[in-house]
Each structure stands twice: as structure tokens, then as C-alpha cells.
Amino acid sequence: MTHLPLDLAVIGGSGLYQFPGLENATRQSVDTPYGPASGDVVVGDFAGHRIAFLARHGESHTLPPHRVNYRANLWALHDLGARRVVGVNAVGGIRHDMGPRTVVVPDQIIDYTHGRYTSFCDVEGAEVRHIDFSEPYTASLRVALMEAAKRAGIAVIDGGCYGATQGPRLETRAEIARMKRDGCDLVGMTGMPEAALARELELDYACLALVANFAAGCGDEAEISIEEIFAHLAAATAEVPPLLAELLKR
């Protein structure tokens, strides 16, 4: 399949199932060698540029983190002409300054997931590639996001380590304590293998992490409320379109 290059592709996480302000939108169903993506890719115009949007969990949030077909999602966006991808991820805050409604552009990741297809090499006969993953996010795209946030007047934390867990359950206090000792600042369930697959396809990839709650044992709450999580997510998600509009202007 041959398509014109897109200016940006956005993968929406929990709370971001449609992209606000997308005009002249068309839905693209892409056949991939890895099965179906999470849903149709919606392609349209935003801030004077052509972008693609894909809801990682499906538009009705039917796919838990460990059942997302990450390979198909990245392949579909690449096949449609994407070269830059921003993954929007709902996360929990571990570091004291990464509380609810904070937006973070992480620069490192630790993978605690298991049983997921983590590479396009996981197919018989495929070429085995050993990608350099010492810096898991594309530095130039991270910088561009930070600069766009500054122009938009949106407070964003530069850097941090994302710990990717299996889900869909939230973590125990002991698990978060271990992750904190490991150097994690954030915890989420969808950061991997998405970042590594983007690298295999030679896509520029960065993460916008939206903090929905303090992780277990890191805040004052005795119990994490799902209602509060989605209220915090809605507030943080509202920052995404104006930030990406500024990104596209440059």
C-alpha cells in the first residue's frame, strides 16, 4: 500500500479515543501481516497538517493492555505513511512531582511486561535485527514536544523513566516500591513493546505521559479510585491537542 507521508501519527491511550478538532476525516482499515490493528486509523486535517489517529485500546476501550496488537498498530501507521509517532499514555506517578494531571515526556523505559510479541522478528523467516535501544525515545521529537509545550503555555516535565507493567490490574505497593528502587518515575501498561517496535520500523517516536493518579503507596490515598483516575485523565488529555498543534506549526 502506498500513501502520501503524514505529518504526524498519534496513538491515543485511555481517555483519548477520538482526536478533537480533526477535520475532513476518513477511516482507513489496514491489512497487516500481523493481524488486525486496534481499529481503523482515522486520517484527517489538524492545525493545517495531515495526521493519523489510532485508539490503542479501540474506540470503545475493549482491548486491555496485554491484548493490544502493538505490531499491527505500528505497521498500519507506517504503511499509511507515518514517519513521526507520538504515543499518548495514561500513567501513574511514582516520583513526588509527578502527581495527577501532570504531563511528562519521559526519556527512559524499563520493561516489566511478559508474553507480548515484542519484535517484528517474531515471525519465522524474518530477518533478525538487533536495534540500538539505549535511548528508547527519539531525542529530536522529545525536544520538539518540549518546545511546543512551552509555546503553548503547557507545563510539561522533561525526562523520567517509564516502567511498563503487564496490567490490566494496578500494581501492589511492593511492586511500586521495587520499581522506585529500580529508578522508575512513572508506571504504565502500554509503553512497551510500542516504543521498540517503532524503533524497528525506524519511526521517530516519543511519549506524552498523562498522569492519572499516584501509584500505589506514593500518594495520600488509601485506595485508588477509578472515577478519580478518569477525571484526572480528562483534564490532562485536554492539553494534548493544543500541544500537538504547536508541534505541527514547526
Helical H runs in the chain? 70-79, 139-152, 173-182, 194-200, 226-237, 240-249
Is 245 within 8 Å of 46 (Cβ atoms)? yes
133 is in an annotated binding site: no
Distances (CA, A) of 4 to 8, 49, 52, 239: 12, 12, 12, 28
14 is in an annotated binding site: yes
Is 41 within 8 Å of 3 (Cβ atoms)? no
Is 140 within 8 Å of 179 (Cβ atoms)? no
89 is in an annotated binding site: no
Q: Report which residue type is found at 74.
A: L
Is 146 within 8 Å of 103 (Cβ atoms)? no
56 is in an annotated binding site: yes
Is 124 within 8 Å of 179 (Cβ atoms)? no
190 is in an annotated binding site: yes
Distances (CA, A) of 103 to 94, 108, 119, 145: 13, 15, 28, 11
71 is in an annotated binding site: no
* Binding-site positions: 14, 56-57, 189-190, 213-215
* Binding-site positions for substrate: 189, 213-215
* Binding-site positions for phosphate: 14, 56-57, 190
